[in-house]
């Protein structure tokens, strides 16, 4: 079998999106939609810069950044003269000793993120069985408007593909559409593209034009119907983006459920494509899990919580309405309700974070507790430390940020302020209401507050005095 090469078309602006952002960079399932095509290409070819070419153009630099982590080549289509013209730009990647003649090309659009690897593999097998020169992925749609239509001759053979704007009213009634993915023999592809003319409403070089060229040369053109028509969904408008988003989210949840995750109300939970969740974890209604977040086994995520770019070990409980970003939570930790964990937070085994606690760039030691109304920033907090209600680290002097270091087994009373930089030794006790400005030795008691004053009868006398002057 000929070696596969993949070309991904991603140079267009996506005018119909009416966006400042290039269409293929709009996220679907929490990642730029073009990455779905890039990952398919990698799966089919096992990667390699000589095997995959991404055609960039509009916002090429941004797109290159997005695909930088992948082993694929990119070429720039400086002038957007159509999908056929875009494919021609990619030829240079396969130029080496006319390499392109020996290859079989899979051509994908950057705007059809629901296409699956299984379908592409079946399509490749079909292309082989049919001994086709060109195979087009197709679908039958109830509302085919906007797509190129598959025009067949009397015997049912494919004759050509006509774009919606160039179609006659009767052609517009054809429900079989071009899904924009193709398999083409290399020795045919590039010579054929040089014969495609921009004689259409848009004055562009259309890739589907190669179908008529193949037919003219007596070559076999096959149509492979997508097993599920959603795979053909191409995103041109925000409506289609929303539809793809809905379908992708459902697909992600279905995969996670198959892997052993419980969703109490699946359609209200939004999980990004790259998230991984372990078995027997339970996801409550109205939850959002984003980015590359990893969640272990037997975790519980309660309602209205959002978790982004975080790692949760096994048996972690996130109670209601928490916002967790860039945090690492070890086994058995319990967070919330109403907690906010910001980047750089590390919560060690079995530690607890409670109501209205904000934590940033802070490590909370094994078994430690910060249960109520605190701000802990730039702090190192030891094992079993009790952080009293209302404790604050004063980490910022208006210019710089400073560290608070609290050793193991410290007991912090309520409403304590640590004016950083400051260190507290092991086992110390900090009296409630203290403002701690100096380092505290191990096992000491600190009282950093003014002494209580009691004036007997003062209140009563005041009441009587006020009563006399009342108008
Ligand atoms: C295209 C097909 C249409 C098919 C539909 C399926 C053509 C002419 N038409 O139409 O038959 O039904 O896809 O979704 O191919 N691009 C470039 N350079 C260009 C133009 C486009 O790289 O000069 C890229 C775009 O970024 C996009 C892809 O090619 O990722 C498809 O372009 P788009 O404009 O979306 O084509 P459609 O009008 O949807
Ligand atoms: Ca499109």
Q: Which residues are catalytic?
A: 372
Enter the tokens of residue 88: 């021609």
State the SS3 of 246-272.
Answer: HHHHHHHHHHHHHCCCEECCHHHEEEC
Count of beta carbons in the 10 Å neighbourhood of residue 65:
12
> What ligand 1 atom has the least distance to the C-alpha of 34?
30
Residue boundaries of the structural domains of the chain: 3-232, 238-446
Ligand with minimal distance to 196 CA: 1
**DSSP 3-state of 122:** helix
Q: What is the pLDDT of residue 97?
A: 84
Question: Is the shortest distance between the CB of 55 and ligand 1 below 6 Å?
Answer: yes
Q: How many C-beta neighbours within 10 Å does residue 297 have?
A: 15
The pair of three-digit structure tokens given for residue 28, joined into one six-digit string: 């679907």
Q: How far apart are CA 325 and CA 432, in angstroms?
A: 31
Instruction: Supply the pLDDT for residue 308.
Output: 98
Please give the full DSSP string across 96-126, using - where no structure is assigned.
GGGHHHH-EEEEEETT-TT--HHHHHHHHHH
pLDDT digits (tens, 9 = 90+) for 28-77: 999 999 999 999 999 999 878 899 999 999 999 999 999 999 999 999 99
Burial code of 204-231, b = ≥16 C-beta within 10 A, e = fewer? bbbbbbbbbbbbeeebebbbbbbeebbb
Q: What is the pLDDT of residue 46?
A: 87
Identify the nearest ligand to the CA of 109 by its number: 1
Ligand 1 near 161 CB (within 6 A): yes
* The predicted structure's pLDDT at residue 467: 85
Cβ atoms of 412 and 393 within 8 Å: the answer is no
Q: Do residues 417 and 435 lie in contact, with contact meaning Cβ atoms separated by under 8 Å?
A: yes
Q: 309-330 as b/e, with b when 16 or more CB fall inside 10 Å? A: ebbbbbbbbbbbbbbbbbbbbb
Residue 111 CB less than 6 A away from ligand 1: yes
206 lines ligand 1 (CB under 6 A): yes
Cα dihedral sign for 262, 266, 269, 272? positive
Structure tokens at 180: 């924009």
Q: Is the CB of 304 under 6 A from ligand 1?
A: no
Q: Residue 181 is encoded by which pair of tokens?
A: 């993915």
In angstroms, the CA 105 to CA 189 distance is: 8
pLDDT per residue as tens digits for the range 337-394 = 999 999 999 999 999 999 999 999 999 999 999 999 999 999 999 999 999 999 999 9
Give the per-residue pLDDT at 313.
Answer: 98
Atom of ligand 1 at shortest distance to CA of 236?
35
Distance 215 CA to ligand 2 centre (A): 24
**Secondary structure letter of residue 232 according to DSSP:** G
Cis amide prior to 79 (ω within 30 degrees): no
- Indicate whether residue 205 lines ligand 1 (CB < 6 A): no
Residue positions counted in the chain: 471
How far apart are the C-alpha atoms of 18 and 37, rounded to whole Å?
22
CA atoms within 13 A on the CB side of 93: 26
Which CATH fold topology does 238-446 show? UDP N-Acetylglucosamine Acyltransferase; domain 1 (2.160.10)
Provide the pLDDT for residue 168. 97
3-state helix, strand, coil in the chain (%, to 5): 25, 30, 45
In ligand 1, the atom with minimum distance to the C-alpha of 110 is 30
Mutation to probe ligand 1, out of 9, 21, 83, 237 (largest number of atoms < 8 A from CB): 83
Atom of ligand 1 nearest to the CA of 22: 26
Query: Taking all residues of the chain, what is their mean pLDDT, rounded to a whole number?
Result: 97
Determine the pLDDT at residue 48: 80
Q: CATH 3.90.550.10: does it fit domain 3-232?
A: yes
Q: What's the farthest any 2 CA atoms get from each other in the chain? A: 113
Measured from the CB, is residue 329 less than 6 Å from ligand 1?
no
Distance from the alpha carbon of residue 425 to the mean position of ligand 1, in angstroms: 66
> What is the predicted pLDDT for the residue at 47?
77
Residues with Cβ within 8 Å of residue 258, at least 6 apart in sequence:
none
d(CA 106, CA 52): 9
User: Given ligand 1 and candidates 7, 10, 12, which is best to mutate, with the most ligand atoms within 8 Å of its CB?
Assistant: 12
Q: What's the gap in Å between 455 CA and the centre of ligand 1?
A: 84
Q: Is 164 helix (H, G, I), strand (E, B) or coil?
A: helix
Regarding the beta carbon of 11 and ligand 1, being less than 6 Å apart is answered yes
Ligand 1 centroid to 109 CA: how many Å? 7
Cα within 13 Å of Cα(448), Cβ side: 19
CA 202 to ligand 1: nearest atom = 8
Q: Spell out, as residue ranges, where the chain has pLDDT lower than 50.
A: none
Strand ranges inside 310-361, DSSP E: 311-312, 317-318, 323-325, 327-329, 334-335, 339-341, 345-347, 352-360
Contact 330, 312 (CB under 8 A): no
Integer CA distances (angstroms), 133 to 101, 206, 334, in order: 13, 18, 59
Ligand positioned closest to the Cα atom of 180? 1
Give me the pLDDT at residue 455, please: 98
């Amino acid at each position: 079998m000929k070696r596969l090469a993949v070309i991904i078309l991603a140079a267009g602006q996506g005018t119909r999106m009416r966006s400042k952002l290039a269409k293929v960079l709009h996220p679907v399932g929490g990642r730029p939609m073009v990455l779905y095509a890039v990952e398919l290409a990698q799966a089919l070819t096992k990667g390699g810069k000589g095997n995959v070419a991404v055609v960039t153009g509009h916002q090429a630099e941004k797109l290159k950044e997005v695909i930088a982590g992948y082993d694929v080549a990119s070429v720039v289509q400086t002038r957007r003269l159509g999908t056929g013209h875009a494919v021609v730009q990619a030829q240079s990647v396969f130029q080496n000793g006319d390499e392109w003649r020996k290859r079989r090309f899979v051509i994908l659009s950057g705007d059809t993120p629901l296409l699956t690897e299984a379908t592409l593999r079946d399509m490749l097998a079909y292309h082989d069985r049919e001994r086709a020169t060109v195979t087009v992925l197709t679908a039958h749609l109830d509302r085919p408007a906007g797509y190129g239509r598959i025009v067949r001759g009397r015997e049912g053979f494919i004759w050509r593909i006509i774009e919606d704007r160039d179609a006659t009213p009767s052609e517009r009634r054809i429900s079989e559409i071009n899904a924009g993915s193709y398999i083409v023999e290399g020795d045919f592809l590039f010579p054929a593209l040089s014969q495609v003319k921009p004689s259409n409403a848009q004055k562009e070089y259309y890739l589907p034009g190669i179908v008529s060229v193949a037919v003219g040369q007596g070559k076999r053109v096959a149509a492979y119907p997508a097993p599920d028509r959603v795979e053909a969904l191409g995103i041109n408008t925000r409506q289609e983006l929303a539809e793809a988003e809905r379908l992708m989210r459902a697909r992600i949840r279905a995969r996670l459920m198959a892997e052993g995750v419980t969703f109490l109300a699946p359609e209200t939970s939004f999980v990004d494509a790259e998230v991984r969740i372990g078995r027997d974890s339970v996801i409550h209604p109205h939850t959002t899990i984003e980015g590359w977040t990893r969640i272990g086994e037997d975790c519980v995520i309660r309602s209205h919580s959002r978790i982004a770019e975080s790692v949760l070990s096994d048996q972690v409980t996130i109670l209601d309405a928490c916002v967790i970003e860039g945090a690492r939570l070890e086994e058995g930790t319990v967070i919330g309700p109403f907690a906010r964990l910001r980047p750089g937070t590390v919560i060690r085994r079995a530690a607890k974070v409670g109501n209205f606690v904000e934590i940033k760039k802070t490590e909370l030691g094994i078994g430690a507790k910060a249960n109520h109304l605190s701000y802990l920033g730039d702090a190192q907090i030891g094992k079993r430390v009790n952080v009293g209600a209302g404790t604050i680290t004063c980490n910022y002097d208006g210019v710089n940020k400073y560290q608070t270091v609290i050793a193991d087994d410290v007991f912090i009373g309520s409403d304590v302020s640590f004016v950083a930089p400051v260190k507290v030794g092991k086992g110390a006790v900090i009296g409630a209401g203290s403002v701690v400005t100096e380092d505290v030795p191990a096992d000491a008691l600190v009282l950093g507050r003014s002494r209580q004053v009691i004036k007997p009868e003062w209140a009563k006398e005041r009441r009587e005095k006020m009563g006399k002057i009342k108008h």
